[in-house]
Amino acid sequence: MKVSSRISAAIAAIVLAAVVSTRAQDAPASHPATPTEPIAAIIDAFSTHDIVALGEGPHNNEQGHAFRLRLIRDPKFAQTVNDIVVEFGNARYQDLMDKFVAGGSIPRVVFRQVWQNTTIPGTVWDVPIYEEFFGAVRMVNASLPKEKQMRVLLGDPPIDWDGVKTEADADKWLAQRDAHAAEAIKREVLARKRRALVIYGDGHLQGRSERPPHSLVARLEADGARVFTISNSFADLSSLQPDVSSWAVPSLALVRDTPIGLKGYEFFYGALPPGDYWKTQRMQDQFDAVLYLGPPSAMTMAKLSPALCADAAYIKMRTDRLALRKGTEGQVKRLEEYCAASKPKP
């Protein structure tokens, strides 16, 4: 049996098990999680699913970014996937993104609005890895015939910050984040019989069976979409299954009925969200697989470019947007301290 066939069979088994399994917290693991080569596994998942939702893990982590670059650069990826849906781009600028990934010329001062003007008022998308990701898609597309080129679909709602004057104005857009992305995927991907890799923070991929649906994945699955979900939480998996420490980096493992899959949600993501739904949730109730990129101690985070700290207009924009929200003083202070430490020494 070929590796891809084994992976397809395993994925099919997950779907069946999800239907018949109970939510008992004390169910024993029937087998250990088994690592597989992750790029082949992700590409193969599209044979049985419309969408593969890949958790970013902690925003800004460099290990996840490096893996995503490897994934999209694999020749089989563009042969399989039509669209890449990202959290880190404002849909208001979809025309700019379409032009950019097709090789068009766009001044950087214009293009950076894509990630700098999302609904998130802080600096999370301003580190270089997100711009680098868009450039990597553009480079891959340059090697492909036009009909095979990938589209980057910007998932964040089309907020116009010129019209945001109060916290309530900003909250109106923030409240639409998962709903807007789900509707865009239904319209631009599913209705057109295309396949998409969705790259979002893990929190948007959870709550998949919660009704009424709130999260991105829950909204898609409630309408019948087949979604394969992958967690990238950087939890200490070796404390659940000791042989994880010997896994190749990177690896992907299915979690159904394994020590990892049966562990409670809070082990991976901390305090439970409010509501009874979450009290019985295990990893396998939310995710089909985990992406292993090394132990928690191996994770490193991308940092803002010092050039942004020297850009007075940028700093004013960020501090003004953060000032609209209560409780953001800590974010402003951390930005000020980071920029002060980044200044060249005399």
In a domain, 308, yes or no: no
H-state helical runs in 21-61: 38-45
The contacts of residue 77 (CB under 8 Å, 6+ apart) are 39, 43, 71
In a domain, residue 19? The reply is yes
Q: What domain count does the chain have?
A: 1
Confirm whether 313 is domain-assigned.
no
Considering the domain boundaries, does residue 156 fall inside one? yes
- Supply the CATH number for residue 159's domain: 3.40.50.11550
- 66 CB-contact burial (10 Å; exposed 0-12 / middle 13-18 / buried 19+): middle
| pTM strictly above 0.75 | yes
Cα 119 from Cα 315, distance rounded (Å): 17
User: pLDDT tens track of the chain, all 346 residues?
Assistant: 444 555 555 555 444 444 334 444 446 889 999 999 999 999 999 999 999 999 999 999 999 999 999 999 999 999 999 999 999 999 999 999 999 999 999 999 999 999 999 999 999 999 999 999 999 999 999 999 999 999 999 999 999 999 999 999 999 999 999 999 999 999 999 999 999 999 999 999 999 999 999 999 999 999 999 999 999 999 999 999 999 999 999 999 999 999 999 999 999 999 999 999 999 999 999 999 999 999 999 999 999 999 999 999 999 999 999 999 999 999 999 999 999 998 877 7
Write out the residue range of the structural domain in which residue 199 sits: 3-303
In a domain, 330, yes or no: no
Percentages of the chain per state (helix, strand, coil), in multiples of 5: 50, 10, 40
Q: Is residue 30 part of a domain?
A: yes
What number of other Cβ atoms are within 10 A of residue 271's Cβ?
7
Q: Is 251 domain-assigned?
A: yes
Task: Flag whether 331 is in a domain.
Answer: no
Query: With contact defined as beta carbons under 8 Å apart, do 252 and 230 qualify?
Result: yes
